[in-house]
Amino acid sequence: EKGGYDYFMLKEIAEQPKAVADTLLGRIDAGGSLTLDEVRISAAELREVDKVVIVACGTAFHAGLIAKYAIEHWTRIPCEVELASEFRYRDPILGKRSLVIAISQSGETMDTLMALRHAREQGSKVLAICNTNGSTIPRESDAVLYTHAGPEVAVASTKAFLTQLVACYLVALYLGQVRGTKWGDEIGAVIRDLSQISCEVERVLETMEPVRELARSLADKNTVLFLGRHVGYPVALEGALKLKELAYMHAEGFAAGELKHGPIALIEPDLPVVVVVPSPRGRSVLHDKIVSNIQEIRARGARTIVIAEEGDEAVVPYADHLVRIPATPTLLQPLVATVPLQVFACELATARGNEVDQPRNLAKSVTVE
Ligand code: M6R
């Protein structure tokens, strides 16, 4: 049932190109527009939305953090992202025009369920992004967009995360489409890029051997830091979460711009620091800033593990280890940049003799608050 792989996690990492493609299937019409008929919230209602609030936990929360960048850029609707476990306890401001998006692989996470119940009590519409047909969260929501990742068995979420990202992009683009924002042309181009992206994920998977080798060489380390900017910041958080739960190592993700506000004090000789580098094309100012962050940490002796786009030569002098990912539009980069971090964590877990599919103290779905 593991399809020839040693662990479900390895199988699920390998299934990601198909999971991504399946989640797009039937949702882009021949004219290149989105058809999300299954989202039973009318176009008229979606045009009224004045705020989007995303609630989720763990890896699904990281997908939500990335969705915020896409939703605000493509739709200009303000978007908040909140840990489901914090949400209802702070008396959030919600109304009939708020669209609440609950993201959950299992559809049974109690914190997320309680958050969506609270939102519905306040009169908000709830859209679930979920991987499990007929589970509680979609049943209790006004509408659901299913991710088509197939069953995810390993406790550490991988293919569900990539498909959650795809679903979030679809919702963001659909909101942009029905509201006719000024990004109209860009939306068409992104839909085209999105329909190609599963091949790019496949290409990343084909080049992972050096990442595995690197992971094995770091098996005796205690700490790994992860840095990113813009959508690379939630990717850094996700890389750190994977490493904590699988390798039982101290791992932290930071927004690279925050380094100088404290975390840089942690840098010591030979400390592995993974840096997710934004594309040098497009918003190049982001790229230049992160290159100087890499220089800063390297000057203090950090061992830099740099994840950068093919053709990005500016990072080469400062990378102790360079992991290449295909060029993608900035907002879609997490779909390719997360994959090496999953492979890295999985290999480190194996090298440290940990149980990959069933890490200690964790359950696949957390059905208590
Ligand atoms: O089933 P859900 O997506 O609601 O689960 C949320 C988190 O419990 C889950 O993503 C958790 O963080 C994973 N073990 C991370 O790999």
Contacts of 251 (CB under 8 A, 6+ apart): 223, 224, 225, 226, 239, 240, 241, 243, 244
Q: What is the pLDDT of residues 245-261, one digit of tens each?
A: 999 999 999 999 999 99
For ligand 1, the distance from its centroid to the CA atom of residue 58, given in whole angstroms, is 5
For residue 58, give the ligand 1 atom closest to its CA: 12
What average pLDDT does the segment 145-163 reach?
96
Instruction: Count CA atoms within 13 Å of residue 247 on its CB side.
Output: 29
What average pLDDT does the segment 262-271 reach?
94
User: What's the whole-model pTM score?
Assistant: 0.97
Indicate which residue's Cα is closest to atom 9 of ligand 1: 58
The amino acid occupying position 102 is: A
Instruction: Count CA atoms within 13 Å of residue 104 on its CB side.
Output: 37
Mean pLDDT (the chain) is 94
Active site residue 364: yes
For ligand 1, the distance from its centroid to the CA atom of residue 105, given in whole angstroms, is 7
Output the pLDDT for position 70. 95
Contacts of 315 (CB under 8 A, 6+ apart): 277, 291, 294, 306, 308, 322
State if residue 366 touches ligand 1 by the CB under 6 angstroms criterion.
yes
190, 173 Cβ separation under 8 angstroms: yes
For ligand 1, the distance from its centroid to the CA atom of residue 113, given in whole angstroms, is 13
Task: Return the sign of the alpha-carbon dihedral for residues 171, 69, 61, 102.
Answer: negative
For residue 126, pLDDT over 70 is answered with: yes
For residue 182, pLDDT over 80 is answered with: no
What average pLDDT does the segment 295-313 reach?
97
State if residue 104 touches ligand 1 by the CB under 6 angstroms criterion.
yes
State if residue 83 touches ligand 1 by the CB under 6 angstroms criterion.
no
Residue of 18, 51, 289, 364 marked catalytic: 364
For residue 180, pLDDT over 90 is answered with: no
Q: What is the pLDDT of residues 17-52, one digit of tens each?
A: 999 999 999 898 877 888 887 777 888 899 999 999
For ligand 1, the distance from its centroid to the CA atom of residue 104, given in whole angstroms, is 7
